[in-house]
Chain A
């Protein structure tokens, strides 16, 4: 491949997995343009009376407008940050600037100040602390069943009136049913209705087809057998602590796919990794509220030797990242020869979770082609799938110059969202 964007993670001498980044990757963490610009301007050693790093963390004191400098530190294992500044943006410009200084080699090795050690210990304690497990039990299930009855009535009314009535519905009509589902302890249904409302509000061409699919999936929930996949869709949750106490999958995981989403209240970053021995994709999800950007659970473009703990639910399995013992650049993964093979391989995912509408999809040696509307990636059998235009596609074309490349992305039924590419049989590169 022509160039690489990510710097692979490396294992430090102290046994911590240090997520190494370049300038672009650090700036990509900024929640908005102002933070990125502010951080770039703060990334000057003169503004930092104290600056240091060790295997586990970066830290520094940054002069601000107040009397005391801000205390800023970054956990190198997952790039979580903490800063004593009053900014409501997360990570703040000081935390991003500190990482820029690290990239530039301005942070020398030193011994951790107490305040850094305390924060790291507190984080560790929080992540391993036992939480009282939620005990929904039968009462929760009964409550959800009552909610499903309400949903059935709502769908019946909706189908009687027809989709054409939806655009003129008052916000209160939507809010009423969504609140009712939350009260019935079925937040998953509430979210699904919220998505339907967004589809109607977006008023895209042929929105009614999207809405029909959403309604079909809601109807499927009313016929639930409370299978694992259905419980996830209904909103039953499992805590990370419960998951970590359960099953463990050790494997080499290749982190290649990613999708960020924002519903206006919560930002979510989902990453998909290919398990070499398990021969299946798993995914992680991290959420953040208040305008913050969630820190990805895994280093994009890395291959991790790690333990993953699967959540209950359909395929691909959501996992919690356990102990990581090795990290390096992602190696090649096995890919289908054609899009038809790739789509056929997605069938078990849909069987296990019929609500699924986003699946990992890869193909060997695809060639870009275009018509007057879209760009397609053509496989060896001369069949193509349309690719969503955007930064990742532009990156892929800029790097490959139109030569064939292995395509790895997420298929939503209409377009492939390209996430990673590789020259045939070469190491893959993330193009997000």
Chain B
């Protein structure tokens, strides 16, 4: 009998106990001691079946981060600040540099724990990082394996939506086809709304037929979601219908509704209005709905502003800002009639660059909290011009009591490093309690220098 067999027998006897197993206690305990040592000492290396060699990593073609960049990354990881890490990855990517091999496991683990960081981290993994990611299922997200949950029509709603939205990022057409097929079959309104919701990712004009069909849905939630998505698309039939209604219902000279808007909306117009709530009822609501459905350039700005119906029209125009070629003048006009939060929502719907321009344009007299909120919506790092302008806004805004003397963190973490460095004496004077923010800036300067310095990336 082999040592291992004797050991297994002994374990079984001890598990049962000498009382029931009819074994001598001393012999059993002595066997435990002797066989335990023997088993540990007699272990031999093995060659298990099914063992396959780990393939060699492909050669790294990109330049690997140098000592200073690597040092900065260590500090950034110590700060545990996602914005700084994203900035490091972006700077490395611009410099065509990938993370040092020794730092890859930490980055992969971080990306595993925080999915929002994955796009940034993917930029700096290089060939070695991607090879490493293949060795652990926890890191498979880095190479796009298993990140996409398979769509299971019987899964809970949350999982279905996540799966569809992920799938949509990689294959818009397949999801569109699936939604087109399943939408008429789904009996529950929440399931149909979920399908429409999935189309929001990568929305294109090709989705219009499905969304148009969804406007006939009896459920307000499904209808309204489809309508909101249609309003984000340029050149739709919805936009043409809205244009016709506006041409027919407004006097061209002074943008005042004539008799058509005083009549009850017909079925076709009712179909193009939000059904939930009363935001789009009455003349003002219907004007707002039509304005939200056409590009702002449909209007003459001066006429809109001068119209007694300027408020609902501008509210609608604010919803249509993403369709504008230049949203700034429209946003400025809309700022006169919108609440701060509504304006923030409108800005949030714009691409980053336009959003920055609009925020700078409309925030002249904003209070600190609103400005801080608006700035938090802008991804960093900001351009030099945006940073200069927003610094001016913060300088004149009254800092709330709980932050008196301390600079706005969003400015220091997202602003342009060059501008902030140049303006530091002014910042330090305006906000004397600035050591934390100075530390952030110091690290960002190190980050910039690490990638600017030739030969030491």
Distance of A372 Cα from B10 Cα, bound (Å): 30
Query: In the complex, what residues of B have CB within 8 A of residue A44's CB?
Result: 435, 438-439, 442
Query: Is A41 in contact with chain B by the CB < 8 A criterion?
Result: yes
Nearest CB on B from A202, distance (A): 17
Residues of B within 8 A of A391 (CB): 105
Provide the residues of chain A in CB contact with B131, threshold 8 Å. 401-402
**Which of A129-165 touch B at CB < 8 Å?**
155-156, 159-165
- Check B10–A212 contact: CB distance below 8 A: yes
Say whether B75 contacts A23, CB under 8 Å: yes
Q: B54-76: contact bitstring with A at CB < 8 Å (1 yes, 0 no)? A: 11110000000000000100110
Within the complex, the shortest CB–CB distance from B127 to chain A, in Å, comes to 9
B158 adjacent to chain A (CB < 8 Å): no
The answer to whether B267 has its CB under 8 Å from any CB of chain A is no
Q: CB-CB < 8 A to A293: which residues of B?
A: none
Contact with B along A26-50 (1 / 0, CB 8 A): 0100000100110111011011000
Contacting pair B17 A162 (CB below 8 A): yes
The answer to whether B79 touches A397, judged by C-beta atoms less than 8 angstroms apart, is no
Q: Are A165 and B52 in contact (CB under 8 A)?
A: no
Which residue of chain B has its CB nearest to the CB of A216? B32
Interface: A260 (CB within 8 A): no
- B442 CB contacts on chain A under 8 angstroms: 44
In this assembly, does B275 line the interface, its C-beta being within 8 Å of a C-beta of chain A?
A: no
Let me know if A23 and B74 touch, CB within 8 A: yes
* A354 CB within 8 Å of chain B: yes
Cβ contact of B18, chosen from A160, A223, A346, cutoff 8 A: A160
A155 to B30, CA, bound (A): 11
Which residues from chain B contact A378 at a C-beta distance below 8 Å?
47, 51, 53
Main secondary structure of the interface of A (DSSP, over half): helix
How far in angstroms is the closest Cβ of chain A from B121?
Answer: 14
Binds B, one of A74-82, A182-190, A306-314, A380-388: A380-388
Count, chain A residues at interface, CB 8 A: 73
A215-B14, A357-B40, A376-B51 given; A2·B101 CB < 8 A:
yes
| Known contacts A41-B436, A384-B45, A402-B57; A215 and B52 CB within 8 A of each other | no
Task: Determine whether B80 belongs to the interface, using a CB cutoff of 8 Å to chain A.
Answer: yes
A-B contact count (CB 8 A): 195
Interface of B is mostly: helix
A170 at the interface (CB under 8 A from B): no
Are B45 and A338 interface neighbours, CB within 8 A?
Answer: yes
B45 touches A36 (CB 8 A): no
| Interface set, chain A 246-264, CB cutoff 8 A to B | none
| Given the contacts A212-B32, A343-B43, A382-B47, A368 and B53 also touching, CB distance less than 8 Å | yes
Chain A hits for B104, CB < 8 A: 398
A397 engages B54 (CB within 8 Å): yes
A401 with B128: in contact, given A219-B33, A369-B52 (CB under 8 Å)? yes
> What chain A residues lie within 8 Å of B253 (beta carbons)?
none
Give, as a whole number of angstroms, the nearest-CB distance from B224 to chain A.
44
Contact A217–B74 (Cβ < 8 Å): no
Contacting A at CB under 8 A, from B1-53, are: 10-11, 14-21, 25, 28-37, 39-41, 43-53
B78–A37 CB distance below 8 A: yes
- The answer to whether A215 touches B29, judged by C-beta atoms less than 8 angstroms apart, is yes
List the A side residues contacting B180 at CB < 8 Å: none
In the assembled complex, the Cα of A399 lies from the Cα of B436 at a distance in Å of 35
Chain A: minimal CB distance from B455 (Å): 17
Q: How far is the CA of A149 from the CA of B10 in the complex (A)?
A: 23
Interface residues of A in 42-77 (CB under 8 A from B): 43-44, 46-47, 63
Q: Complex: how many Å from CA A340 to CA B54?
A: 22
Q: Is the CB of B54 within 8 A of A369?
A: yes
B102 in the interface, Cβ–Cβ < 8 Å?
A: yes
A195 contacts the other chain (CB 8 A): no
- Asked if A343 and B44 sit within 8 Å, CB to CB, the answer is yes
Inter-chain CA distance A41–B54, complex, in Å, is 40
Q: Which residues of B contact A367 (CB under 8 A)?
A: 53-54
Are B52 and A370 in touch, CB under 8 angstroms? Answer: yes
| Complex contacts, B43 vs chain A, CB 8 Å | 343, 413
Interface assignment of B132: CB less than 8 Å from any CB of chain A:
yes
- Is A403 interfacial (CB-CB < 8 Å)? yes
How distant is the Cα of A391 from the Cα of B105 in the complex, in angstroms? Answer: 7
**Residues of chain A contacted by B105 (CB below 8 angstroms):** 391, 394-395, 398
Say if the beta carbon of B157 comes within 8 Å of chain A: no
Any B CB within 8 A of the CB of A209: yes
Q: Does A371 contact B (CB under 8 A)?
A: yes
Is the C-beta of A323 less than 8 angstroms from some C-beta in chain B? no
Asked if B135 lies at the interface with its beta carbon under 8 angstroms from chain A, I say: yes
A369 to B52, CA, bound (A): 5
How far is it, in angstroms, between the C-alpha of A140 and the C-alpha of B384 when the chains are bound?
Answer: 77
Q: For the complex, what is the distance from the CA of A46 to the CA of B438, rounded to whole Å? A: 9
Q: Given the complex of chains A and B, what is the CA–CA distance between A398 and B17 in angstroms? A: 48
Please determine whether B14 and A370 come into contact, CB atoms closer than 8 angstroms.
no
Given A208-B11, A217-B33, A401-B131, residue A40 in contact with residue B78 (CB < 8 A): yes
Mark contacts of A71-112 with chain B using CB atoms, 8 A cut-off: 1 yes-contact digit, 0 otherwise.
000000000000000000000000000001000000000000
A22 interface contact, C-beta 8 A: yes
Q: Is A220 an interface residue (CB 8 A)?
A: yes
A375 on interface, CB distance cutoff 8 Å: yes
Is A339 in contact with chain B by the CB < 8 A criterion? yes
> Which residue of B has the minimal Cβ distance to A358?
B40
Q: In the complex, are the beta carbons of B45 and A41 less than 8 A apart?
A: no
Which B residues are in CB contact (< 8 Å) with A40?
75, 78-80
User: Is A225 among interface residues, defined by CB-CB distance under 8 A?
Assistant: no
Q: Are A41 and B439 in contact (CB under 8 A)?
A: yes
- Closest A residue by C-beta to B8: A209
CB distance from B393 to the nearest CB of A (A): 26
Q: Is B100 located at the chain interface by the 8 A CB criterion?
A: yes
What 1/0 flags go to A220-263 for Cβ under 8 Å of B? 10010000000000000000000000000000000000000000
Q: Is the CB of B45 within 8 A of A379?
A: yes
- Chain B residue numbers with a CB within 8 Å of A398 are 101-102, 104-105, 128-129, 132
Determine which of B14, B40, B101, B136 lies in contact with A212 in the assembled complex, contact meaning CB atoms within 8 Å: B14
CB A99 to nearest CB in B, in angstroms, measures 12
Instruction: Please name all residues of chain A whose beta carbon is closer than 8 Å to the beta carbon of B48 when the two chains form the complex.
Output: 371, 376, 384
Identify which of B18, B32, B41 contacts A213 (C-beta below 8 A): B32
B residues less than 8 Å from A36 (CB atoms): 78, 80
Residue of B nearest to A208 (CB): B15
A23 CA / B71 CA spacing, docked (Å): 7
Select A350's contact among B16, B33, B40, B102, beta carbons within 8 Å: B40
A279: Cβ under 8 A from any B Cβ? no
Contact residues, A369-427 vs B (CB, 8 A): 369-372, 375-376, 378-379, 381-385, 389, 391, 394-395, 397-399, 401-403, 413
Would A383 and B438 count as touching, CB distance under 8 A?
no
Residues in A with CB closer than 8 Å to B47 are: 378, 382-384
Residues of A within 8 A of B44 (CB): 340, 343, 383
Query: How close is B68's CB to chain A, nearest CB, in angstroms?
Result: 11
Q: Can you report 12 A-B residue pairs in the complex whose CB atoms are below 8 A from each other?
A: A44-B439, A46-B439, A165-B17, A338-B45, A340-B45, A347-B41, A385-B46, A394-B105, A398-B102, A398-B132, A402-B55, A413-B40
15 further contact pairs, Cβ within 8 A, besides A215-B32, A346-B41, A413-B43:
A3-B102, A63-B435, A155-B29, A159-B25, A212-B32, A219-B30, A220-B37, A368-B53, A369-B54, A371-B52, A397-B54, A398-B105, A398-B128, A399-B102, A413-B40
Interface residue ranges, B against A (CB under 8 Å): 10-11, 14-21, 25, 28-37, 39-41, 43-57, 71, 74-75, 78-80, 100-102, 104-105, 108, 128-129, 131-132, 135-136, 435-436, 438-439, 442
